């Protein structure tokens, strides 16, 4: 049985068939680089998956764009376990994170960008870098980038981590003088299409500061504001970033209404969630594939044993001594956990486990599935259901549906 992957960051590939969408997500994916770029959602709502699909879409449709990071689907942020001493107080403020993310993203893009400059432009840029007051390691790399010598293609979080491990005074110098110089270089020399993808900062900052809500929220809100400001002031650049909805709830900024125009708030209806679950079942289990065979592909090992074990534990709590299960006539059984011998052996095992007798009954065991449907019809019981997809309406193609409607298995 395949293992279900619940982390889109770890997926080997991105398959359009596995993406469940709604109108707002369709618009996000079809708007190219001219639409929304800030993804806000609660945990587990698919921010990373959508970000990966967006990158793939830009890669396929905008060959003129260069993407950061170059050789990864996104900049999956990791932070140093022990930031520089004296920074904790500064980290409580959104403005700190906005400044530090702004300069980190700008430097990363400048390091990655294929600069084509005249000698006069290069000399001007090198003079600006000298007065930027940023860590010497980054300054040297920027000089190499503008001189078209080899340099590291750093991700934004790689630059961020250099700042976070620098002395507090060095960071304050960079914020007071380097920030303006670097953003001016960014706006002047990034003159063609660029898309940056930043993800998982919520997880990274929560890992380092698990009990500090101010840092967790303001770190993400600083990233959001930095991404929006950089994208707003340089029309060639889009900074795609993911933010947790729980952090965005604390966002208080004069530009909030304008920022919302650049933001995709990922929400799903009940129908959307059913479609997502059905696609996951189809992707991982394949049981909605009409080519599957019920005997070979529908057996879930220990399923009935699990049902009875959970039911017995609940019966014990309630003081009940009898537990029922809907097994059908043994003459029609397909799997080893659908027989009277299975019930007898399981009854003995559960009674021994509980330290008191419990009786297992199967009131439908004299009937076939067709008999049960006739009984339901005679008693005006409507809406019977047998489908592996789990959607509100049966899919009609999975092996359970095919058995249900009498098709040859």
More confident residue, 83 or 161: 161
- The pLDDT confidence band at residue 24, using thresholds 50, 70 and 90, is confident
pLDDT reading at 149 higher than 80: no
Q: Which of 2, 360, 7 is nearest to 199 (CA)?
A: 7
What pLDDT, on the 0 to 100 scale, is given for residue 9? 58
| 15 φ/ψ sector (left φ>0, alpha ψ -120 to 50, else beta) | beta
pLDDT reading at 398 higher than 80: no
- The tokens describing 178, both together, are 């380097």
In angstroms, the CA 201 to CA 45 distance is 15
The residue-averaged pLDDT of 126-144 equals 93
Model pTM score = 0.71
Is residue 97 within 8 A of residue 219, CB to CB? The reply is yes
In angstroms, the CA 195 to CA 87 distance is 30
Residues whose CB is less than 8 angstroms from the CB of residue 74 and which lie 6 or more positions away in sequence, other chains included: 9, 48, 51, 52, 55, 197, 198, 199, 200
Beta strands in 148-233 (DSSP E): 194-199
| 257 φ/ψ sector (left φ>0, alpha ψ -120 to 50, else beta) | alpha
pLDDT reading at 69 higher than 90: yes
Question: CB atoms < 10 A from the CB of 41, how many?
Answer: 21
The string of pLDDT tens digits covering residues 278-323 is 666 666 555 555 565 555 666 678 889 999 999 999 999 999 999 9
Secondary-structure breakdown of the chain: helix, strand, coil percentages, each rounded to the nearest 5: 55, 10, 40
| 234-258 core/surface letters (b: 16 or more CB in 10 A; e: else) | beebbbbbbbbbbbbeebeeeeeee
| 294-309 core/surface letters (b: 16 or more CB in 10 A; e: else) | beeebeeeeebeeebe
pLDDT reading at 368 higher than 70: yes
Length of the chain: 409
Is residue 106 within 8 A of residue 184, CB to CB? The reply is no
pLDDT reading at 215 higher than 90: yes
The residue-averaged pLDDT of 202-226 equals 96
What pLDDT, on the 0 to 100 scale, is given for residue 286? 56
In angstroms, the CA 12 to CA 292 distance is 24
pLDDT reading at 173 higher than 50: yes
Q: Kindly tell me the sign of the dihedral angle through the C-alpha atoms of 166, 167, 171, 176.
A: negative
The string of pLDDT tens digits covering residues 237-266 is 999 999 999 999 999 999 999 999 999 998
- The pLDDT confidence band at residue 220, using thresholds 50, 70 and 90, is very high
Domains and CATH numbers, the chain: 8-269 (no CATH), 285-404 (3.40.50.620)
In angstroms, the CA 146 to CA 138 distance is 12
3-class DSSP state of 237: strand
Q: What are phi and psi of 184, to 5 degrees?
A: -65, -40
What pLDDT, on the 0 to 100 scale, is given for residue 130? 92
- The tokens describing 218, both together, are 């303001």
């Amino acid at each position: 049985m395949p293992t279900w992957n619940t982390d889109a960051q770890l997926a080997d590939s991105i398959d359009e068939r596995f993406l469940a969408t709604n109108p707002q997500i369709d618009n996000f994916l079809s708007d190219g680089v001219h639409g929304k770029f800030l993804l806000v959602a609660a945990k587990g709502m698919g921010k990373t998956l959508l970000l990966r699909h967006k990158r793939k879409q830009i890669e396929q449709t905008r060959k003129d764009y260069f993407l950061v990071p170059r050789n990864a689907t996104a900049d999956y942020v990791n932070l140093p376990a022990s930031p520089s001493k004296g920074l904790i107080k500064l980290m409580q403020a959104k403005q700190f994170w906005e400044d530090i993310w702004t300069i980190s993203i700008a430097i990363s893009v400048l390091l990655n960008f294929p600069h084509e400059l005249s000698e006069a432009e290069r000399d001007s840029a090198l003079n600006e870098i000298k007065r930027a007051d940023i860590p010497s390691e980054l300054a040297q790399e920027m000089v190499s980038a503008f001189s078209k010598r080899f340099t590291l293609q750093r991700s934004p979080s790689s630059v961020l981590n250099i700042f976070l491990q620098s002395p507090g005074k060095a960071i304050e110098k960079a914020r007071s003088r380097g920030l303006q110089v670097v953003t001016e270089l960014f706006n002047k020399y990034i003159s063609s299409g660029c898309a940056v993808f930043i993800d998982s900062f919520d997880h990274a900052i929560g890992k380092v500061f698990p009990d500090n809500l101010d840092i967790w929220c303001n770190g993400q809100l600083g990233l959001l504001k930095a991404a929006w400001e950089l994208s707003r002031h340089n029309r060639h650049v889009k900074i795609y970033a993911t933010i947790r909805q729980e952090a965005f709830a604390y966002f208080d900024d004069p530009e909030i209404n304008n920022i919302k125009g650049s933001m995709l708030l990922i929400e799903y209806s009940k129908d959307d969630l059913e479609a997502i679950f059905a696609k996951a079942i189809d992707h991982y289990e394949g049981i909605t594939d009409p080519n599957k065979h019920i005997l070979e592909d529908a057996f879930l090992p220990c399923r009935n044993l699990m049902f009875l074990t959970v039911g017995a534990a609940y019966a014990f709590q309630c003081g009940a001594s009898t537990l029922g299960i809907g097994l059908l006539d043994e003459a029609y059984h397909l799997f080893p956990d659908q027989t009277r011998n299975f019930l007898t052996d399981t009854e003995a095992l559960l009674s021994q486990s509980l330290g008191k007798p419990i009786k297992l009954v199967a009131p439908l065991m004299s009937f076939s599935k067709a008999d049960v449907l006739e009984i339901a019809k005679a008693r005006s019981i409507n809406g019977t259901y047998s489908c592996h997809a789990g959607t509100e309406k049966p899919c009609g193609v999975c092996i359970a549906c095919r058995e249900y409607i009498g098709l040859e298995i």
